A and B are shown apart, each in its own frame.
Chain A
Amino acid sequence: MNCMIFQLKRIFLFFFISILLPFFPDYSFASAGGSLHQDNKNQAPGRKMAIQATKSGKKWNTTDHIKHKILHQEFKSGEEVTQACIYCHSEAADQFKKTIHWTWTDLDSDPENLAGKAGFSINNFCISTNMAKDKSCLDCHPGWNSKRETINCLDCHGQNDLDLNEAFTDIQGFLDSADADSLEIAKEIQKDVMDAVSSIGRPTRKNCGSCHFRGGGGDGVKHGDLDSSMAYPNKNLDVHMGTDGQNFQCTRCHTTILHNVSGRIYSTPAATQRKSLIEDDSIPKIMCESCHSNKPHKSENKANDHTDKVACQSCHIPEFARINPTKMWWDWSKAGKKKNGKKYTDYGQWHKPVYKSIKGEFKWEKNVIPEYFWFNGSMKVLTFKDTIDPGKTVEMSRPLGSIENKNSRIFPFKIHKGKTPYDKVNKTMVTPLLSEPEGFWKTLDWDDAIVKGMEAVGQPFSGEFGFADTSYVFPITHMVAPKEKSLSCETCHAKNGRLAKLDGFYMPGRDKFKMLTIGGWSLIAASFAGIFFHALGRFFIKNKKKEC
């Protein structure tokens, strides 16, 4: 009997160990640090999938625009160029004019409170386009000569650096003077134009960047994750777009249907479905999950369990504005000062303006740590019709979403703060006219600029204005760092980590139970005190006995 039990125990031990062993690699500590040189076998599944999805290589084309006779013209105006494009691409202009790139309004929003640059939206940068009546804003509008009439296909498709608007002004000038030399020069420029018009392609980072890198009137003013450093980034700055790596163009992810470029964020999310390309190869917007799946990390990696609540961007974009600084503060209330009777500009670190008479005070930052919010993909943007509470920071845009919402993720944002003019009586933000001849940038006269600007948008102005604290947020989604640079668990799972301000849920490593902490450690202290006195008693009474 005893012998049998002994044998049984041996068998137990054997089983016990053999069952435990396979668990070791799975829960092992080997994956704590990412190894740079992994063979294919050892690749995370999400990486493997993404490499497969993108391995098709170079895009090909069925046409060479140099060979198209219609483009062999002596163009005299932009409109003529567009006519030539439309000759073949007959639907392009109609399609494009229906897109938000042209309308600058969010047609999904309430028409009574129309969102969009050309709608009623405002921000704490140049505040408002006065419904596209402030002409300097239209520098970025894809039409010829800052007019909203004929589309300029080359803004997005031209692969030549020639400034066509300027070229046509010159051509007109030389043609008008009509002397032989001038006509000769006009011909020369027309030749350059012909070269430019024949150099056509899909939009590159440079095409998109010509507006999106310098939104708000300068490089890196608006988006913290889009600036001129992204035209030719290296892998360190953006692991996908790096010219030394995958060399993605913007259009690799911002796919297009009928000239509608996906990825815009206003009242509806850029993408409502979270699908991988394996599930559906015609999804309208390429997101991280499209190529990397929603379980991208190796199976034992806890990060896989986070993808339902934490956006990839939150960990994989540790900081933004990593090469060029981005504007973080714009105080309009300081605008209007003069030096020796003249408008002036002061420059600070990185040779960035820190004061401009026409715009006020700025602050710039580099390597900025994002702020994190629950985000369902939609934004709430303030319009000049909305009533505000100037006693608090006015959120001119804010992310929508909450922990309860299944489509919400914790997402990184840039917050641009500032002081922006508002109507003290009507409690609305105001829309001063800025660039026009009678605008603030010329006159430095707030009252007049606000009166004219409010007139332009048909809003009442009481005549009394002040400056409210404002904030404006941008989702951070570009400048994805190589995986070695992604955030460690401790960045958030810590007392004062990056998610310290997000409440409404329990988070290990960040949250403690106050009463339990006091009670628990009291119990431990009492246990120690108990054994201490017990031991003391044993020691002394024993010694006493010996003395006797």
Chain B
Amino acid sequence: MDTNGIINIYLYTRYERFWHWLQMLLIVLLLVTGFEVQSYYHLLGFQTAAKIHNFAGITWLISFAFFIFWIFTTGEWKQYIPTTKKIFSVLHYYAHGIFLGEPHPVPKRKNAKHNPLQRLTYLSLAAFLLPVQMTTGFLYWSYNSWDAWGMGYLSLKATAFIHTAGGFGILSFIIIHIYMTTTGHSLFAHIKAMITGWEEVSKETVIEEWEEAKH
């Protein structure tokens, strides 16, 4: 695989890929059933939708704990450290360079899976939107225990509002996220990488030191 200056690098480990696709499955389930519970459409019926939503939500919560464990024990958390360096060139690339076929200013490497824009996006997802969604979701689910937990002052309406708003945020992310997968050197290159773990990158790419998540 050394043609056209393209090399294969093993970018995503087995657990990472498993986590990604499990999370995708759960989020799709949660979005589909969540918006039905909000009665935006009728698909499975309220009861089934609510049941699946609860199940998927709790499953996600538990599996997310494993992800947090994984990310810290493996040091992968460093991939999410936010940086403003080159963020404007990345933004400029997606707003301009991409149309002209310019190369990505921050290409992927083993120790630098995420470009600065990705880092910011994923960090705000993993550290803000998803926890908010999980917290409000868990509270929503445990509504009947609020009084017993001395949390009777909480409002179900406010909880539902934030949870629904978060749902819209995640849906918006997914739309753009899926579109961005088509911006590799071929339309399905990034998706293929997330399945096999092997990403095709240009041979000449140089990784600057700041980009590396050191072990």
Contact = CB atoms under 8 A, between A and B. Distances in A.
Interface of A: 5, 8-9, 12-13, 15-16, 19-20, 23, 27-29, 32, 302, 305, 308, 488-490, 493-495, 505-506, 508-513, 516-517, 519-521, 523-524, 526-528, 530-531, 534-535, 537-538, 541-542, 545
20 contacts: A16-B63, A20-B59, A32-B51, A493-B50, A494-B46, A506-B155, A506-B156, A508-B37, A508-B38, A509-B37, A512-B38, A517-B40, A519-B165, A523-B169, A527-B172, A534-B94, A538-B99, A538-B183, A541-B99, A542-B101
Interface residues of B, number: 50
Interface string B36-70: 01111000011110111011001100110010011
Given A12-B69, A16-B63, A531 B55 contact: no
Interface stretch (B10-18, B79-87, B103-111, B121-129): B10-18
A490 B58 contact: no
Given A20-B59, A20-B63, A537 B99 contact: yes
A480 B167 CA distance: 40
B161 interface: yes
A524 B174 CA distance: 10
B179 A535 contact: yes
Given A8-B73, A20-B62, A494 B39 contact: yes
Interface of B: 13-15, 18, 37-40, 45-48, 50-52, 54-55, 58-59, 62-63, 66, 69-70, 73-74, 94, 98-101, 143-144, 155-157, 160-161, 164-165, 167-169, 171-172, 175-176, 179, 182-183
A29 B13 contact: no
Contacts, number: 123
A23 B59 contact: yes
A527 to B, nearest CB: 4
State the majority secondary structure of interface residues on A: helix
Given A12-B15, A12-B69, A508-B50, A5 B156 contact: no
A5 B69 CA distance: 13
A32 B176 CA distance: 35
Contacts of B18: 13
A520 B31 CA distance: 13
Contacts of A9: 13-15, 70
Contacts of B94: 534
A23 B99 contact: no
B62 A527 contact: no
Nearest to B168: A520
B38 to A, nearest CB: 6
A506 B164 CA distance: 13
Nearest to B49: A509
B47 A489 contact: yes
Contacts of B182: 535
A516 B164 contact: yes
A32 B44 CA distance: 12
B141 to A, nearest CB: 10
A5 B13 CA distance: 11
Nearest to A541: B99
A472 B101 CA distance: 77
